[in-house]
Chain A
C-alpha cells in the first residue's frame, strides 16, 4: 500500500496502520465539528452574520431532501447534509495539497455500505415483509439474482466516487511531475507548475469533486425513497 499512488502509511497505532487519508479525514472531521459547534452558539431569533450562512446551508439541504424524497422523508436531511458536506470538503481538499480521503477506496466503500444498510433497513422498517418479498418478484427463482444485483449498488456508489477522485489526483500528480521536467532550470522558479495546473485543479477538484458529492447524496436519496415507497 505504500508504493505508487496508494495511500501512504504515516504511523501505526497498536499495529494498525494509519494512512495519510485517515489523518486527513480526522482533520476534516475536526474542521466540520468545530464549525458546526461555533456556528450554532448564540443563535438569535433575528439572524445576522454567520448565522445567516448557517441557516442558508441548513435550509437549502432541507429543501433539497424534501424536494427529492418528499415531505414524509424530510427527516433524512441530517444524513444527506453530512454526506454532502463531508464528501464535498474531502474532494476539494485536493486543492490544499493533501490526499483527499475519498481517494481511498476504504472511505468511499464504507460510506457506500452505510448507505446500503440504510436503504434496506428503512425499506424493511417502512414496508415490512412486503419489501423482502419484492426481492422474489416476478418469480422466486430470481431471488438470488435480485440479491446479487442489489449488491451492485454499494459497489457502484463507492467505486464511482473513488475512481473519479483518484483519477483526477493521479492526472494532477503526473502533470506536476511532467511540468517540473519542462521548466527551464535557469529560471530557478517553478514557473510552469504555478499556472498550468490551475485549469486541471478547477476541473478535477472543484467541478468533479462537487458534482460527485452531489451525485452520491442524490443517489442515496433516490435509493432510500425507492425502497421506502
Chain B
C-alpha cells in the first residue's frame, strides 16, 4: 500500500464512480420517459426514447471517464520518467 500515490487514490475513486455514471442516465431516462408518457398520454414513445437516450449518455460518460483515466496514466508515466 505504501507504493500508492495520490494519483492512484484519485483513479481508485474514479473507478468507483464508473458504475454509477452508467446506471444513473439510464434510470433517469426511464423515470423521465414514464413521467412524460403519463403526463401526455402518449403510450410508450417517451419511455423508449428516453431509455435509448439514457444509454447513449451512459456510453458518452463512460467514454469521457476512460479518456480521463488514460490522460491521468500518461501524466503519471511522464512523472515517473
Interface residues of chain A, those whose CB is within 8 Å of chain B, are 64, 67-68, 142, 145-146, 148-149, 151-153, 155-156, 159-160, 215, 218-219, 221-222, 226
Q: Is the CB of B6 within 8 A of A67?
A: yes
Residues of chain B with a CB closer than 8 A to A145's CB: 53, 56-57, 60
Within 8 A of A (CB), among B11-30: 13-14, 16-17, 20-21, 24-25, 28
Interface residues of chain B, those whose CB is within 8 Å of chain A, are 6, 9-10, 13-14, 16-17, 20-21, 24-25, 28, 53, 56-57, 60-61, 64, 68
A34 CB, min distance to chain B CBs, angstroms: 31
Q: Is the CB of B24 within 8 A of A152?
A: yes
Residues of chain B with a CB closer than 8 A to A215's CB: 13, 16
Query: CB within 8 A of B24: which of A146, A156, A219, A222?
Result: A156
Q: Provide the main secondary structure of the chain B interface.
A: helix
B55 CB, min distance to chain A CBs, angstroms: 11
Query: CB within 8 A of A155: which of B13, B24, B57, B68?
Result: B24
A207 CB, min distance to chain B CBs, angstroms: 15
Complex Cα distance, B24 from A153, in Å, reads 9
Q: Is the CB of B57 within 8 A of A149?
A: yes
Q: Is the CB of A148 within 8 A of B13?
A: no
17 contacts between A and B (CB under 8 A): A64-B6, A67-B6, A146-B60, A148-B28, A152-B24, A152-B28, A152-B57, A153-B21, A155-B28, A156-B20, A156-B21, A159-B20, A160-B16, A215-B16, A218-B13, A219-B13, A219-B17
Complex Cα distance, B16 from A159, in Å, reads 13
Q: Is the CB of A149 within 8 A of B20?
A: no
Q: If the complex has contacts A156-B21, A159-B20, are A149 and B13 also in contact, measured as CB distance less than 8 A?
A: no
Q: Is the CB of A68 within 8 A of B10?
A: yes
Q: Is the CB of B25 within 8 A of A222?
A: no
Q: Is the CB of B13 within 8 A of A151?
A: no
Query: CB within 8 A of A152: which of B6, B21, B53?
Result: B21
Q: Is the CB of B60 within 8 A of A149?
A: yes
